[in-house]
């Protein structure tokens, strides 16, 4: 039976200052993304809906997505300096990248999400019909778990989400350990989340200001561990249909080409947000994005959602493209050779995304759905895993946060 604490002690327990790293300081730790064995085919429409729901947006319609296409003939412990690494391996078709996380001695496959700030898990307190196929966390089996009276409630735009209770436990990711890390135990989850049986929860790695725990927001694992790292950084090395890595505390120069180019981050909204105001299609010249919404780097989103000027200019070069109302996105013949897309990351670096990465999923009748889709006029561009599979990305969580980009090695 779990140990229930006094209310006074609970308040202290869940203060942001209570969590502490326990691995040797001054190093790094690496987290691998591990294959899940899931054989479900890519579903572009489902991923698009998931992304729009995450940010509370309405799905796009044809009215604002008209393109002119070419002819068919057109072509931590108080010690410092720790580092560590875990593998990140995609579910088949790159729909989701999962990594092992040890909580209270139990290893769970979880999704690292730089677009949210809650560490929440499926747990044994949920109704049995929500746990079929899952490997939930069992707080009763942890000798380090402590309950609290705090709660969490993550609700997305379509009313999907999870809610439940909050405690603290020892969390180990790739060798670095934070004691008294806030761990959110779902007692209820929406069907959309329940259906993803490969994932046992999320590790939110955006800024702690958007954490949903009440009455007091809690720090992310990244915020709790950063003071003990050799460098206060997280790197994401995602790959197409192959294992990649997340690494805390170190920038591995063997994983990228050339030099890292950095862009300032505006974290006022809690996201890894930066400017991206120009683009190029294929071998064309860079051109201004007249809408120029800020972009965020989000490992928890599969697709790349850009402003309409970018999407319209790109698909205007693709023969036979159309906006499919049923799929709610742009589709084209699966044999089409798509052009590369270049996106400005701040003012000093342009990221080239291979056209091969932008052919995301088959939708039937020889048609495929693009990995680039419209943000439907919303005030953010969401650069998800489509972008990450072309770039080595550094999340620098220092006092002046910044993002770094370079092509994969």
How many CB atoms are closer than 10 A to CB 76?
Answer: 25
Catalytic annotation, pick one of 118, 298, 308, 385 = 298
Residue among 94, 113, 118, 308 flagged as catalytic: 113
DSSP 327: T
* Cα(381)–Cα(275) distance, integer angstroms: 10
Q: Residue 349 to residues 12, 81, 234: CA-CA distances in angstroms?
A: 45, 30, 20
Quote the CA–CA distance of 102 and 93 in Å, as a whole number.
Answer: 26
Give the residue among 16, 368, 38, 8 at the shortest CA–CA distance from 224.
16
Say how far residue 76 (Cα) sits from the centre of its chain.
23
Bridge-based pairing state of the strands 106-113 and 97-103? antiparallel
Residue 338 is classified by DSSP as: P
Phi first, then psi, for residue 377 (nearest 5°) are: 80, 10
Query: Does the bond joining 215 to the residue before it have cis omega, within 30 degrees of 0?
Result: yes
Distance CA 306, CA 386 (A): 12
Active-site annotation holds for 277 = no
- Give the DSSP per-residue string, 79-116: --BBEEEEEEEEPGGGS-EEEEEEETTEEEEEEEETT-
In the residue annotation, 113 being an active-site residue is answered as yes
Active-site residue set: 113, 298
């Amino acid at each position: 039976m779990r140990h229930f604490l006094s209310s006074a002690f609970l308040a202290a327990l869940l203060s942001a200052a209570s969590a502490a790293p326990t691995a040797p300081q001054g190093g790094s730790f690496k987290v691998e993304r591990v294959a899940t064995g899931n054989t479900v085919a890519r579903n572009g429409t489902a991923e698009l809906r998931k992304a729009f729901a995450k940010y509370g947006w309405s799905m796009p319609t044809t009215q604002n997505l008209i393109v002119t296409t070419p002819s068919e003939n057109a072509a931590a412990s108080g010690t410092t300096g720790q580092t560590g690494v875990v593998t990140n391996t995609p579910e088949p078709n790159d729909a989701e990248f999962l990594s092992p996380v040890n909580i209270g001695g139990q290893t769970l496959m979880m999704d690292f999400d730089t677009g949210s700030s809650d560490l929440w898990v499926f747990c044994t307190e949920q109704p049995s019909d929500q746990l079929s196929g899952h490997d939930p966390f069992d707080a009763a089996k942890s000798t380090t778990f402590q309950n609290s009276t705090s709660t969490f409630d993550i609700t997305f735009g379509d009313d999907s989400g999870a809610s439940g209770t909050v405690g603290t436990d020892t969390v180990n990711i790739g060798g670095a350990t934070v004691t008294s890390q806030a761990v959110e135990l779902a007692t209820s989850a929406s069907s959309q989340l329940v259906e993803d049986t490969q994932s046992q929860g999320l590790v939110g790695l955006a800024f702690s200001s958007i954490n949903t725990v009440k009455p007091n927001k809690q720090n992310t694992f990244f915020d709790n561990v950063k003071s003990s790292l050799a460098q206060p950084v997280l790197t994401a090395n995602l790959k197409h249909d192959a294992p990649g890595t997340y690494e805390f505390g170190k920038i591995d120069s063997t994983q990228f080409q050339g030099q890292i180019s950095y862009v300032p981050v505006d974290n006022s909204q809690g996201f890894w947000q930066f400017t991206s105001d120009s683009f190029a299609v294929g071998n064309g010249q860079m051109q201004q994005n007249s809408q120029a919404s800020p972009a965020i780097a989000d490992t928890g989103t599969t697709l790349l959602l850009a402003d309409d000027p970018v999407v319209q200019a790109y698909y205007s070069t693709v023969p036979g493209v159309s906006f499919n109302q049923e799929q709610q996105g742009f589709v084209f013949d699966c044999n089409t050779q798509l052009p590369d897309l270049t996106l400005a990351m701040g003012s000093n670096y342009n990221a080239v995304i291979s056209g091969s990465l932008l052919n995301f999923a088959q939708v039937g009748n020889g048609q495929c759905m693009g990995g680039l889709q419209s943000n439907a006029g919303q005030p953010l561009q969401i650069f998800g895993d489509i972008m990450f599979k072309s770039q080595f990305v550094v999340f620098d969580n220092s006092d002046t946060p910044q993002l770094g980009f370079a092509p994969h090695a």
